[in-house]
Amino acid sequence: MAAREELITAAEFSQIQFDFLIIGGGTAGIAVAARLSEHSQFKVGVLEAGPLVNRQDTVDIPGLYGQTIGTEHDWGFETVPQQGLHGRVLPWPRGKLVGGTSALNFMIWNRGSKEDYNAWEQLGNPGWGWDDLLPFFKKSETIHRPTTKLQTDHGAAFDPEVSGTTGPINVSYPNYYPATHQLWRQALNSLGVESNKTHLSGSNTGVWTCVNSITPQEQTRSFATTSYYVPNVHRKNLFLLTEAVVDEITLELTDDGVHKATGVTFTCKGQQHHVSAKYEIILSAGTVQSPQILESSGIGNPEILTNAGKSIKVDNPNVGENLQEHIMAAIVFETKAEARNDPQRGNKGPEAALEEYLRHKTGPLTTVPSCFCYLPFEKAFPEGKFEDLSKLVSVLPGSSTQSHAIASGRFDPKQQLGQIEYILDSGNWNPDFSPSQEDGKNYATIFQVLQYPFSKGSIHINSSSNDASVNKPVIDPQYYRGPHGLIDLEAMVHSIHFTGEIVRSEPLSNLLGPRVFPPASITIDDEYRDWVAKTTITDWHPVGTCSMGGSRGIEGGVVDHRLRVYGVQGLRVADASIMPLHISAHIQATVYAIAEKAAHMILQDHHVLA
User: Which of the residues are catalytic?
Assistant: 541
Please, which residues have CB within 8 angstroms of residue 540's CB and are 6 or more apart in sequence? 92, 93, 94, 101, 105, 326
Q: Residue 583 in contact with residue 117, Cβ under 8 Å? A: yes
CA atoms within 13 A on the CB side of 259: 19
Beta-strand runs (E) in 482-585: 512-517, 537-538, 568-569, 571-573
Angle among Cα 57, 60, 61 to the nearest 5 degrees reads 75
* Pairing of β 44-47 and β 17-23: parallel
Tell me how far apart the alpha carbons of residues 219 and 217 are, in angstroms, rounded to a whole number. 6
Cα separation, 109 vs 586, in Å, equals 7
User: In a 10 Å sphere around its CB, with 0-12 CB exposed, 13-18 middle and 19+ buried, how is residue 171 labelled?
Assistant: buried
266 touches 47 (CB < 8 A) = yes
**H or E element: which one contains 100?**
none
Contact 104, 98 (CB under 8 A): no
**Bridge partners of 77?**
92
Contact yes or no for 518/528 (Cβ under 8 A)? yes
442: helix, strand or coil: coil
Query: β-strands 537-538, 108-109: how paired?
Result: unpaired
